[in-house]
Amino acid sequence: MTAQHMQADADEVFATADGHLVVGTEPAAAWHDVSRHLATRLPQATLRNLVRVHGRDRVHPDGPDLTGVADTLIAHEIAHVIADQAGATFPRRWLAEAFANYALVTVLAETDLPGLQRVGTLAEAAMLLGDAAPCGGALDHPVGALDPVPSVLAHLALTRGVMAVYAHARSRPRARWFALARVEGQPQPDADHELGRMLARDVHPELGRLAARCEGWDAAQAKAA
């Protein structure tokens, strides 16, 4: 397990290189920045709903209190540890993060429905930011290249995709994905569109659509540059 798996770079939970989980005593301050970002960019009706579900942020009271979301993320990091110890490999960092988010969604759905609601409402709200929010593929940048806010938004884009998978087929696609990731010598697609086809065929169609969205966002960013 490496530090590159730190959830959204704004979390108080991460794993060390030797697989130990480090859990802070309180959520990282960067979560307040995420709350402020949402408060200044989301439609008012959406923002009111977030505040109703999450409560008010103590630093930016117009925004939602995201400490409840931060507290759930240990399941994400445990998934990384389990995948690494099992020898699972993913051809893109965003895929490893999506897999861990899928595990998080599964754990919350089975043990903490209010926690799943908090994560789900946040992910759906972030979708309304449109092109201003990065796709999960942004996580393929070098570790630390993204500021906490866009990193969180990229994770939320992945979370929307895996929540759709879970809603349709529960954890069965995750089990197939985990088995595929553990196959030694598994050929990895060279192009993103081939990766999307493989995910759609062997895991779940929604993951193929997620890969297509990431490819489209990357292409738009390259064109804008």
Q: How confident is the prediction along the chain (225 residues), in pLDDT tens digits per residue?
A: 233 333 434 445 666 767 677 766 677 899 999 999 999 999 999 999 999 999 999 999 999 999 999 989 989 989 999 999 999 999 999 999 999 999 999 999 999 999 999 999 999 999 999 988 999 989 987 766 789 999 999 999 999 999 999 999 999 999 999 999 999 877 778 788 899 999 999 999 999 999 999 888 888 887 887
Three-state secondary-structure class, residue 16:
coil
Phi, psi of 64 (to 5 degrees): -75, 150
* Cα 133 to Cα 171: distance, rounded to the nearest angstrom: 27
Residue 30 CB-density burial (10 A; 0-12 exposed, 13-18 middle, 19+ buried): buried
* Cα 150 to Cα 52: distance, rounded to the nearest angstrom: 24
Examine residue 57 and state whether it is found in any structural domain, yes or no: no
Examine residue 103 and state whether it is found in any structural domain, yes or no: yes
Examine residue 192 and state whether it is found in any structural domain, yes or no: yes
* Cα 49 to Cα 57: distance, rounded to the nearest angstrom: 14
Helix and strand counts by DSSP (H, E) for the chain: 10, 2
Examine residue 52 and state whether it is found in any structural domain, yes or no: no
Is the Cα torsion angle 8, 9, 14, 17 positive or negative in sign?
positive
Range of the domain at 102: 74-224
* Cα 36 to Cα 41: distance, rounded to the nearest angstrom: 9
* Cα 103 to Cα 173: distance, rounded to the nearest angstrom: 11
Examine residue 217 and state whether it is found in any structural domain, yes or no: yes
- CA atoms in the 13 A half-sphere facing the CB of 171: 13
Examine residue 98 and state whether it is found in any structural domain, yes or no: yes
Contact 218, 212 (CB under 8 A): no
Examine residue 61 and state whether it is found in any structural domain, yes or no: no
- With a CB cutoff of 8 Å and minimum separation 6, the contacts of 158 are 94, 97, 98, 101, 136, 139, 210
Domain count, the chain: 1
Three-state secondary-structure class, residue 99:
helix
Structure tokens at 136: 């999960």
* Cα 173 to Cα 147: distance, rounded to the nearest angstrom: 31
Looking at residue 210, what is its pLDDT?
94
What global pTM score does this model have? 0.90
